[in-house]
Amino acid sequence: MADLQGSGIIGVVVEEEIVFTFTELCRASRSDEAHVLALISEGVLDPVGSGPHDWVFEGPALRTVRTALRLATDLDLGIAGAAIVLDLMAQVEALRSRLRRAGIQ
């Protein structure tokens, strides 16, 4: 982990091509299995595989888990509320992308 220019912000760079097992994702996100399972049941995460013993997650799942858990705790939204906020954030980004491609924004 790197301290970003003395700002006290700790960040981890995760390559898009990396994959995590269920256990690795829980460890990397500093989350317990129950929270990650709740994110899966809410549709926030979409693992590949038939069950926790062979699930794999792409690199961006780490950022998603951390963001969802931060929303759930900091804003007292719970997992379901965080899932809704993440969905709305994705929709806003998709709309912004469409506007940029259309030369409107």
Residue 3 has pLDDT above 60, yes or no: no
Report CA 58 to chain centroid distance, whole Å.
10
Helix axes 60-74, 78-101, angle to 10 degrees: 120
> What local confidence, expressed as pLDDT, does residue 92 receive?
97
> What local confidence, expressed as pLDDT, does residue 74 receive?
95
Both tokens assigned to 71: 């929303």
Three-class SS of residue 98?
A: helix
Residue 2 has pLDDT above 60, yes or no: no
| DSSP-assigned letters across all residues of 4-68 | -TTSS-EE----TT-EEEHHHHHHHHT--HHHHHHHHHTTS---BSSSTTT-EEETHHHHHHHHH
> What local confidence, expressed as pLDDT, does residue 63 receive?
94
pLDDT digits (tens, 9 = 90+) for 51-97: 999 999 999 999 999 999 999 999 999 999 999 999 999 999 999 99
> What local confidence, expressed as pLDDT, does residue 17 receive?
78
pLDDT digits (tens, 9 = 90+) for 9-50: 555 555 667 899 999 999 999 999 999 999 999 999 999 999
pLDDT digits (tens, 9 = 90+) for 82-92: 999 999 999 99
